[in-house]
């Protein structure tokens, strides 16, 4: 079962790389929460020589930058001086950060994480 699971992950990562030039895939990835850390590492391992690897990693970097910005805003609002400000999309940033590293299955945060 585990071998089958890993093979399916490889297949999906390969599709992501092979079909990256498809606008629908690029848009779907951009509107998603991106990849968790483990799948980002596997993507790099699987696609070291792939022509689209850098483009996919650039899109992933945009997701990571958004998360970092949201985390900074979440932390800023923890300061008593800003505690009365309403939370926006940063409200679940801490959960998305955990999901990035742990890969919380079944949890679909703001943008849908692994």
Taking the domains of the chain in order of start, what are their residue ranges?
2-102
Q: What is the pLDDT of residues 6-53, one digit of tens each?
A: 999 999 999 999 999 999 999 999 999 999 999 999 999 989 999 999
The pTM score is 0.81
CA separation for the pair 97, 78 (Å, rounded): 16
Q: What is the pLDDT of residues 41-87, one digit of tens each?
A: 999 998 999 999 999 999 999 999 999 999 999 999 999 999 899 99
């Amino acid at each position: 079962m585990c071998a089958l699971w890993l093979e399916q992950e490889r297949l999906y990562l390969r599709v992501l790389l092979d079909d990256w030039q498809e606008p629908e895939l690029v848009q779907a990835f951009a509107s998603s929460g991106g990849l968790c850390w483990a799948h980002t590492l596997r993507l790099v391992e699987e696609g070291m020589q792939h022509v689209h690897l850098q483009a996919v990693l650039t899109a992933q970097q945009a997701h990571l930058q958004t998360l970092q910005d949201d985390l900074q805003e979440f932390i800023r609002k923890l300061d008593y001086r800003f505690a009365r400000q309403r939370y926006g999309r940063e409200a679940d940033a801490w959960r998305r950060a955990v999901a990035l590293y742990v890969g919380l299955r079944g949890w679909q945060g703001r943008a849908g994480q692994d």
